[in-house]
A and B are shown apart, each in its own frame.
Chain A
Amino acid sequence: GQGVEQPDNLMSVEGTFARVNCTYSTSGFNGLSWYQQREGHAPVFLSYVVLDGLKDSGHFSTFLSRSNGYSYLLLTELQIKDSASYLCAVRDAGGRALIFGTGTTVSVSP
């Protein structure tokens, strides 16, 4: 069946980096999005990838391997305020909507 999988939690230290992994299995593929969701707030769009490789957007970078059904979001030079849940979402071949993973909670400590 279709699914998007993410680890539940990830802990890191201010000033370092965190890599949030996402694996997916869908009927067709029309791109993958990353969203940030702070506790008690709505998800906010961060990035979209549809081609293989690394997409560098400064503080956030995203990588995609379509053949492996795998993506990651790389957060560099972490700040305390980067503590949040990061959601991976895949558009299937129909492209009608997004299939979300359960999210990875990133905790950044001083």
Chain B
Amino acid sequence: EAAVTQSPRNKVAVTGGKVTLSCNQTNNHNNMYWYRQDTGHGLRLIHYSYGAGSTEKGDIPDGYKASRPSQENFSLILELATPSQTSVYFCASGDVGYEQYFGPGTRLTVL
């Protein structure tokens, strides 16, 4: 069965600190995605990737970087975290764009 895992599951960071969220998938999917979910906004796309070595900007990329070092791993990096980045972050994978498999989410709080 498809499996997408995320770490950490919960994270508290300080303003100005660096945060790295990790995602691993065992589906062998080419495409991977990072979303954030906030009340009133739904899921919003931050970055995505078509394969190892590629990253593309989504709808809200400002303040975030992404890295796809391998087929299985996709990271989201906040170089200088701000309180406005407090959210729940979901990673997803999928070879067919309309069907994506989501990880369990990471709850990030920036103080």
Contact = CB atoms under 8 A, between A and B. Distances in A.
Interface of A: 4, 30-33, 41-45, 48, 87, 89, 91, 95-103
14 contacts: A33-B99, A41-B104, A42-B103, A95-B97, A96-B56, A97-B45, A97-B48, A97-B97, A98-B45, A99-B59, A100-B44, A102-B41, A102-B42, A103-B42
Main secondary structure, interface of B, reads strand
The 8 closest A-B pairs by CB, nearest first: A42-B102, A102-B42, A100-B43, A33-B98, A48-B98, A100-B42, A45-B99, A31-B98
A39 B45 CA distance: 20
Contacts of B100: 43, 45, 98
Interface of B: 33, 35, 40-45, 48, 56, 58-59, 90, 97-105
Contact of B33 (A41, A45, A97): A97
A43 B44 CA distance: 13
A85 to B, nearest CB: 9
Contacts of A33: 98-99
A53 B102 CA distance: 28
Nearest to A45: B99
Nearest to A44: B102
